[in-house]
Structure 1
Amino acid sequence: MARGRLGRCGRRGRCARGALLACAAWAAGWALAAALLLRAHPGAVPERCTDEGSRRILAALCQDYRGGVLAGDLCEDLCEARRLLYRRCLHYEGGKKVLQADWRGRPVVLKSKAEAFASFRPPGLPGDADGDQDVPEAELLLLVAGEVRSALGLELSNSSLGPLWPGPRGRGRLASLWSLLQQEEFVLLSLLQGLSRHALPVLGSCGHFYAVESLAAGSPRHRALFPLHGAPRSQAQAVSAVALSFLDLVSHFDNDFSHRLHLCDVKPENFAIRRDFTVVAIDVDMAFFEPKMREILGQNCTGDEDCNFFDCFSKCDLRVNKCGAQRVNSNLQVVCDKIFRHWFSSARTSPAISPRLRRQLRRAVQECADPGPAGSPPRATPAFWKLRSLLQATLRELRAAN
């Protein structure tokens, strides 16, 4: 056997050299492929989230504030009074920076779509105006309305722009507002301010960073997706209460605004639960009102798979090779699929719930999550009322048992 191996290898060491060359060629091929991937998709490798990088970002923000480049109602607390204190880096993703801080003893989250203030387009002031003081307020409101239209696809009157208007003007304030108006999540949360208990209020801003309430996000690592504590029966009550709040959120986003608000990225990490079990959408980067949703979906296609925008689906019209602008699934279907299936599948439903209700809930969630035959409209309304009735019955049963 040894002689056979030597015969195939030839002179001593030739096999080893061949193996090394093959290994080197393989590694070089993978390195070239990785380089090409990075060139085509520079954000393919996530940026490392570090305290050092986050402190550097905030130091640059404060340097611009002291130089009068930017402004905001949180700048003084962050940069001078030290009442807004950095705590830790939460994540960097696709350029977005998300940091945790304490503001006057209250935990908050600081967010920005980009690291540097200079990354944002400056305001397009009309004529030869060299500062916001020179521009009539009516023209500024027209510019703000244009930015909202670009970000959300909404046509708003001047009276509806109040939550976005900075009040007294000064050096750097308009430039700061413009950096915020280029961030769809900030615009959406600002317009929902005081109108939705299922959305985070904007607490303030400094330059291109804005602050929102800090709530513990869900995670697939939690057995119940969200941090719910207590005995099995009390956990079952909490899950039922949270599920009812998810239904309230779906109904609210579908019906309570002038246009339906579509959630295109439904996962536990994008929601949090308040102490009273209210569900709050804490990341709405992928939430779109109907006009913007239609604009996003109406793309060229060669099949239905080309018309899937994350959790928002459309269908391909092969006669014209174009996606339909109408979404064919619904917020409720996605919540049933991504959240409720986890809670009410046969293996996970709490034994504290009676077998009859467990079977009914499992069947109702399956019917809700199933989009039905191709081309059929979302069956949101019957599924919604059936689930709501079953969850209320579940809560009554659990409370009676307690």
Structure 2
Amino acid sequence: MKVTIHWNRIFGLLLAIIVVFIAIICFKLINKSSQFDHQDIGQCDMHEAQEIIDNLCELYSLGQVTGSQCSSLCNNNATIKLAQCLSLSESKIVLLMSMNTSSYVVLKSKRRYFDRQHTDLLFHDPIVSIPSALKTFYDIINSTLEGHMGSSITNLTHEHLIRRLFRHDRIENSVILLEKFDDVIVKYNDYYEHNLALSLTTELNTLFSLMTQHEFLLSNYYRSKHELMPKILGWCGHTYLTEHLTPLNHPMIEEQLYSDTWIPKAWLTNRLLQLVDSFDNELHAPLHLCDFQLSNLGISENGNIKLLDSDMAYFDRLIPLYPPDKCRKHSDCSYFDCSGYCDKRTRRCHLKRRINNNLQVLCDKILTKLLKSETIPLRLHDVLLSYVKKCSSPPGRYKRSNELKVGASSRLLRLMQVMLDGELRSANITSTKFCMADESVERFEIERIVDKRYRNNQLEYLIKWRGYPDSQNTWEPSSNIEGEQEADLLAEYEAFNKHQQQKIMNSGSRPAMNTQSPNKRRNDEMINSGLKKRPLGVGNNMQSVHTPTGFERGFEAEKVLGATDSAGELMLLVKWRQSDEADLVPARIVNMRCPSLVIDFYEQHSFWKRLPTLNQST
């Protein structure tokens, strides 16, 4: 009997078995990965958060950790208690702690537990030689600073380095750690006391667990720059306490920032520009924010915008731009918001330097959404939007790359700062006026309703805001006017308006037409020019004669001499090369025809280095 072998069927069966086997392996790998991710992210459970604090307090009672806030956190009459779990993962814990009924601080750490890993401790046994232990500790400090900050501190002595990293009043063994190292060698070279060795071992392990955390090291090293990063209030073991900041993505803050009101947007934009400027120029090297978003920024009680989360903030040459293998495109060399450069000839990433900058990311990710066209006043509209556009998408290119743009110019930052400073000073805004910390977000208060109109089939009211001049009056939709007090003001306005109409009807005469708009702003005097405003007509019955400007006559603009506000539109006084006369031209036209002249004009008349701060009187 002849046996027929169907090789096609056998081959198909083997192929099906292989596919099923590969599918099972992939499913297990994916399931394992998802379990790991779930374990890393974790759920912010209050019970688990309290267990972490209890474990820390147990170590404190055993004398294995120390810190200036341990007694406030762990004693029977503890003044710092867990209020809310904000974030809890294997790589970071963030807990909201209450100090009393109205004051809060934040407990942070890079890891959950103090000594679960072998590398968590610097000394596993009590130290035998105090000078030798201190020498090891100082070497660790220098290597840590070089790894986190890109440079080692060579101009400071050992004891001054301790003072720089940790406040002297929070050091328990200050007699040893803050004394000159040469004197310590002489005094403790042949001296050993067991209790002193145990105490010093505990404190050195505690300080080691803190200084290996990037966020703590950055905030405490630059604690004099308290307006940039959260203030460190103390520590206990591997955890540390910071001031409480309200994230800028808080719903109550976003509600105000993304409304149609201009002043809060100008205030926040100015603060963000100041923050970027400080990170670029006030530290030992530029600090690159590789995850620039509102959730990583917070506002303090006194109105300072600070870096809430600095885990992804790096100094020069420390940004992890290199991929594990060769790069194929520029995005392979980028790390979130920090853009790198791929050399397509060698297929290697460029030096560990960032191509874009913080200002460019700020404009691209935040300001383009925050500064909406319809909310910017006409006097700033065209110029400010052009600055934001150039800032978010600079015209220059990196070398011969058509894809990668260079960072935004600091010149644009200065120009925008000057414009916004002027806006805030004219509205008498101080640094604390728009403090939006915690739940108490300050809201604008309506003083009275001035007028109403219909626009795009929608009823709008002209609002006079309490504490602001008439120049800051804004048109608001009727849906934005809510609340009992606002309803009373609205009813009062409607009653007054109805009464006026009734008087007109009873008199039997028509009201005289008001040719001026109720929100028409008084024209400002021209800057740096003694020219008076030109009349539009000679008599009331004469129509205004349109005089062609230099652009319409084919002239070339030579210089911008001044600026003024005409009927709510920004006008620029332009000098022409082919004529000795100057014309008032709408700023939107000049911005399109010769933007460089506009920038030069603002730069020449913007003495930002001599401008007073918002806290000073104007």
Per the shorter chain, which TM-score range? 0.7 to 0.9
Question: Is 1:163 matched up with 2:164?
Answer: yes
Question: Is 1:97 matched up with 2:98?
Answer: no
Partner of residue 6, structure 1: none
Secondary structure of 2:247's aligned partner: coil
Partner of residue 289, structure 2: 263
* In 2: Cα distance, 1:291 partner to 1:226 partner: 38
Secondary structure of 1:172's aligned partner: helix
Contact residue 256 and residue 264 of structure 2 kept, 8 A:
no
Secondary structure of 2:37's aligned partner: coil
Counterparts of 1:267-306 in structure 2, within 5 Å, are 267-293=293-319, 296-299=320-323, 300-306=326-332
* In 1: Cα distance, 2:34 partner to 2:127 partner: 38
Q: Which amino acid aligns with 1:381?
A: S
Greater RCO, 1 or 2 (C-alpha within 8 Å, sep 6+): 1
Secondary structure of 1:210's aligned partner: strand
Contact residue 241 and residue 277 of structure 1 kept, 8 A:
no
Secondary structure of 1:168's aligned partner: coil
Shift of 1:173: 1.4
Partner of residue 39, structure 1: 32
Q: Tell me: CA distance 1:154–1:125, structure 2 relative to 1, closer, same or farther (3 Å).
A: farther
* In 2: Cα distance, 1:84 partner to 1:52 partner: 17
Q: Tell me: CA distance 1:220–1:103, structure 2 relative to 1, closer, same or farther (3 Å).
A: closer
Question: Is 1:61 matched up with 2:56?
Answer: yes
Please say which of residues 211-220 and 57-66 is displaced more in the overlay: 211-220
Q: Structure 1 residue aligned with 2:81, among 81, 85, 109? A: 85
* In 2: Cα distance, 1:226 partner to 1:322 partner: 45
Q: Which amino acid aligns with 1:345?
A: K
- Flag structure 1 segments of 5+ consecutive residues without an equivalent: 1-25
Shift of 1:52: 0.7
Please say which of residues 281-290 and 160-169 is displaced more in the overlay: 160-169
Please say which of residues 128-137 and 45-54 is displaced more in the overlay: 128-137
Q: Tell me: CA distance 1:362–1:43, structure 2 relative to 1, closer, same or farther (3 Å).
A: farther
Counterparts of 1:62-211 in structure 2, within 5 Å, are 62-80=57-75, 81-93=77-89, 95-103=91-99, 106-119=103-116, 121-124=119-122, 130=127, 133=130, 135=132, 137-157=134-154, 158=158, 159-165=160-166, 167-169=171-173, 170=199, 171-211=201-241
Contact residue 218 and residue 226 of structure 1 kept, 8 A:
no
Q: Structure 2 residue aligned with 1:345, among 348, 353, 372? A: 372
Q: Percent identity at matched positions?
A: 26
Shift of 1:315: 0.8
Contact residue 360 and residue 390 of structure 1 kept, 8 A:
no
Contact residue 226 and residue 272 of structure 1 kept, 8 A:
no
Deviation string 1:181-236 (CA, Å, 9 cap, x unpaired) is 221111111111012412111111111111111111121755x637669x965xx2
Question: Is 1:357 matched up with 2:380?
Answer: yes
Contact residue 238 and residue 277 of structure 1 kept, 8 A:
no
Question: Is 1:213 matched up with 2:243?
Answer: yes
Q: Tell me: CA distance 1:183–1:90, structure 2 relative to 1, closer, same or farther (3 Å).
A: same
* In 2: Cα distance, 1:82 partner to 1:34 partner: 49
Normalising by structure 2, we get a TM-score of 0.54
* In 1: Cα distance, 2:257 partner to 2:128 partner: 51
Normalising by structure 1, we get a TM-score of 0.81
For the pair shown, the structure with the greater C-alpha radius of gyration is 2
Q: Structure 1 residue aligned with 2:345, among 316, 319, 331? A: 319
Contact residue 271 and residue 279 of structure 1 kept, 8 A:
yes
Please say which of residues 265-274 and 99-108 is displaced more in the overlay: 99-108
Contact residue 330 and residue 380 of structure 1 kept, 8 A:
no
Shift of 1:153: 2.8
Partner of residue 505, structure 2: none
Between Structure 1 and Structure 2, the one with more helix by share is 1
* In 2: Cα distance, 1:132 partner to 1:329 partner: 50
Q: Tell me: CA distance 1:57–1:297, structure 2 relative to 1, closer, same or farther (3 Å).
A: same
Contact residue 90 and residue 112 of structure 2 kept, 8 A:
no
Equivalenced residue count is 365
Q: Tell me: CA distance 1:178–1:104, structure 2 relative to 1, closer, same or farther (3 Å).
A: farther
